[in-house]
Amino acid sequence: MLLKTLFCGKKEKIVVMPAVKAIRNLQQELVADQNLPDDQHRKVTQLKDLLEHMFSLDPTKRISLNQALCHPFIQEKKSGNELN
């Protein structure tokens, strides 16, 4: 269950939202029918994790900007395409 606070004018209104279940498999959509090497598969898994944390409905579980910048998907350099 998720509590959401809305501000309507000067009054605060708290709305209870039921838990939302994922209906799509993000990793399956990102990979599709591709046979990826292990390093690319790891990057897709990292991207999925980052996106799930960024788009979390619960603000207490949502990743902060600093946490996102420190996420392995952002921090890990891709071999052959490294930034110096």
Q: What is the pLDDT of residues 30-46, one digit of tens each?
A: 888 889 899 999 999 99
Lowest mean pLDDT among 42-46, 49-53, 58-62, 79-83: 79-83
Domain limits, the chain = 22-75
d(CA 58, CA 54): 10
d(CA 63, CA 51): 9
SS3 17: strand
What is the average per-residue pLDDT within 50-76?
Answer: 91
Amino acid (1-letter code) at residue 46: Q
Please state, rounded to an integer, the average pLDDT across all residues of the chain.
79
pLDDT digits (tens, 9 = 90+) for 8-36: 566 666 666 666 666 678 888 888 888 98
Q: Compare 40 and 2 and report the one with higher pLDDT.
A: 40
Which of 22, 17, 13, 4 shows the shortest CA–CA distance to 60?
A: 4
β-pairing, 11-17 with 2-8?
A: antiparallel
